Structures are given as structure tokens and as C-alpha cells.
Amino acid sequence: MHTDRERCVRAVQSKDERFDGWFFTAVLTTGIYCRPSCPVVPPKPENMVFHPSAAACQQAGFRACKRCRPDASPGSPAWNARADSVARAMRLIQDGVVDREGVAGLAGRLGYSARQIERQLRAELGAGPLALARAQRAQTARLLIETTGLPMAETAFASGFASVRSFNDTVQQVFALSPTELRERAARAGARRGHGERTPVPGVTALRLPFRSPLTPDNLFGHLVATGVPGVEEWRDGAYRRTLTLPYGHGTVSLAPRPGHVACRLSLTDPRDLTVAISACRRLLDLDADPVAVDGELAADPELAPLVDKAPGRRVPRTVDAAEFAVRAVLGQQVSTAAARTHASRLVTAHGLPVDDPDGGLTHLFPTPEALAGLDPETLAFPRSRRRTLTGLVRALASGDLRLGPGSDWDEARARLSALPGLGPWSVESIAMRALGDPDAFLPTDLGVRKAAAHLGLPATPAALTARASAWRPWRAYATQYLWATGDHPINRLPA
């Protein structure tokens, strides 16, 4: 979009929040870059230049605006709606792969050479993988500086920087403030808002997760809570809470819907996991979606239009761990929601790693495929055919023959899942929708979808319904949320 100058200028002049994250505005006269909705007086059009990413702005020598904080804008929805190499690379960079494995590791996961990935990212985003990862490290550093009491040296390494010097130089360049000045400025701002002196809780990071409005939280949080695994997930004090398995350790997160943002509290055993944890939470709640574009397409269908008008901005409840959801999808085959939770709870109690949660009732991490690889199928209290399905899936995940995650190729993952015994279209599409994040995944055989189709007068057979749903592409996963919402089920209600 950044190449459409006239459209970008109009968005900036109208301070349109819907375009935050789609492009960034750099101002030639001030050397500052902003999000389109920046509250300051818009610059003259001749002084604006537009970039596709914060990293491209930084590479061009611009520093972040202190008013609108463009580095904290919602991510581009393009990366969640596409499955090409650039989108997969961006999802992996957001997941911290470059910081942990370098550009070579990123390229290896995508099946390309490092040079090809560099060229593709520069062509579309104006910056290579190192610059994009650096911009993300800067944002993580700012969060840690402003919301925790970590010493600056610990903050530097927790943000992914290799040295304190590079940390200081990057923060100064991006924010035009030293790390100490950034922390002092945040403390003064908190005092002006009546928060008094900040008293950071050790190991806890509190932040706001922005999103594009509108957002209907009912089905989003309702689905996560209604299908939640006891000990791994819970609803407490108006927030969804769960445990997280992370690259350097583990943690717990609390997520609560608020006007204009989702309140997030992260408790991590290792602060280096902050970037990955934030990315996982945004992915879980589908916060980088563009609801205006999605709802505009779905509302063009006369059968869906009343549902969209009634509660616009529905998101697809996803997952923090693709392998975990794949296992849970098998446990939920042909059983009720309550039975699926019971099966998952038994698996967690037997094979999950215990954790301490002084703030609630979280007791375990969901077991990894490696932890489940040696389970005895005879101990599983469900049919023999599903035991074979579960053990086959776990072996494929543990061995690396099946890789599910932010960088997965959706078509390849579907093919590998379909090749496993016992994984039919419902399971494969459920995993594609919630674990892989494919916005066009569709479940024509799902009981809730079929009931909704009958209620709305849509075709009853899966083949006919799939043909009818072609008008909803590429947003059939979102259409599914609106169809499910026609039923009276706890997944559609925000818990009390």
C-alpha cells in the first residue's frame, strides 16, 4: 500500500487507525516516522514519504515518534492472510527465529538460500531480515525498559541484543533517547496519569496489545475458555490465563479484553522469551487481523450480512502452540467439548511439566510431542483407532517429519496431515484454521456449521455448502465464526 501515495496521504490526513501497521509515514523535515493515526498535526504532503515497515524507516535514518509510538502499532494483516515465502518469513521473524538461529536458520526453515530471503524481503519491505529483527528487538527493549525494573544490561540481552553497546546505540537511534532517559520518561508519564511511582513486579511484564477495531470478544475468549484444558488454561478475575512453553523457559499469561486493547500480563522464567510470548499471544487472539476488510467481504453475502452487522469484528481463536492444538484436535474427534477437555486434562496430568502459579489455578505445561512420544496407547481411554491416530501424529511431530508453526507452508502441512492415519478433513481443516492460521480454512462437516447452515437456509450437504462458501473466500475461517455464533453454546459467550 505504501506505493499508493494519494491513498496514504488521505489516510494520514484523516488519522485513520485502520491503516496502522499497513504503512509508516516518514517526515522529511523532522526526521521522524509515525503511524498513520498519529495525533499530531499532519505534515504537508510534500514532506511525507511512505515506507512498508518500521525497519525500512529506521534504515532510511528516521527515528520513532514519541507521541504515536509507531513501533507498537498492530502488525500488518498481510502476513496472516498470505502463505508465500515473504509472509512466512515475517511470521518467523516475529517469532524470534532470527534472534535465536540467525538468517541462515530462517532461510533453512523456509527452504531457500539466505540470499534469496534477503532479496525477497528487501523488495517488498525495504529491509532485510537482520534489519527487521533489529526493529523488533528495539520494540522489545522499549517494553522491558518501560514496564520492568530489570537492570539495563539484563534488558539488553533479554531483548536479543548481543552486547550492551549495540543495545544503547539502537535505542538511541530509534527513539532519540538513551535507555535511562526512556525509563525516566515513562515514569514521569505514569506520574502524570496518577499512577505514582512505578513498582515493577519482578518477572512480570504488563503491556497493552493493540488491535484494529472493531473487535467482538465474546466468541474469541468464550471459545478459548469453553474448550480450555484444566490446569493449562482458566478464566479468572475477568481474564483468560494459560501456561506457555517457550524457547528459553516457560511462563504464564493473563489476557483481558479492554476498550481499544487487550491487557496482557506476562510472567516469564526467562525475559529473553518476551518477544516470542507477545507474538504467541497476538497470534492466539488474531489481533493483527483487518476486520473492516474481512467483514466488508462477508457482509456482501445477504445470508451473512445480518450476522456481521449484529457483532462485527469477530476473530478466529487460534493457539499459542501449533503442535499442542494438533494433539487436542485429535482428542476432540467425534466427542463433546467436555469429553475433549477431560481427555486433554488426563494427558496433561500424566505427561505435562508441573509449574507453580501463585496467582491462580494453573498447574502444568501442555506436554510437548517429545514428552508424548513414549506414551503407552493402552493407557488412553478412547477407541483404538483414535489411539493410533494420536500416536502417529505425536511421532511425526517429535521426529520433525511434520512441522507446524508460524513458518509452515499451509498446503504442504495439509498434505502431510492428510497422509497420517485417522486425520480426516475436519481435523485437518481445524488444525489449518487454528494452528496454522489459514484465514480460508473451512469445516463444512462440522456439526455447528451444519446447524447454522440449516438455520440460515444454506445448502445442507458438505459439497454443496463448500460450493456456496466459495463466495466467502479468502475469509472462510471468519465466516465459520459467524456461523458458529448462531448457536447457543458457551463458546459464543464471554464468561461471567
Handedness of CA 380, 384, 390, 396 (dihedral sign): positive
* Cα–Cα–Cα angle for 21, 258, 70, rounded to 5 degrees: 25
Task: Extract the C-alpha cell encoding 361.
Answer: 489455578
440 is catalytic: no
Distance CA 120, CA 99 (A): 19
Which of 286, 295, 321, 446 does the annotation list as catalytic?
A: 446
Distance CA 146, CA 148 (A): 6
Residue 70: exposed, middle, or buried by beta-carbon count in 10 A (0-12, 13-18, 19+)?
buried
Distance CA 410, CA 231 (A): 31
Distance CA 1, CA 462 (A): 37
Handedness of CA 301, 303, 307, 310 (dihedral sign): positive
**107-110, long-range: CB < 8 A, 24+ apart:** 109/407, 110/85, 110/407
Distance of CA 496 to the CA centre of its chain: 25
Which of 8, 34, 38, 68 does the annotation list as catalytic?
A: 34
C-alpha distances in Å from residue 400, one per residue of 31, 257, 370, 418: 47, 36, 10, 16
321 is catalytic: no
What amino acid positions are annotated as catalytic residues?
34, 446
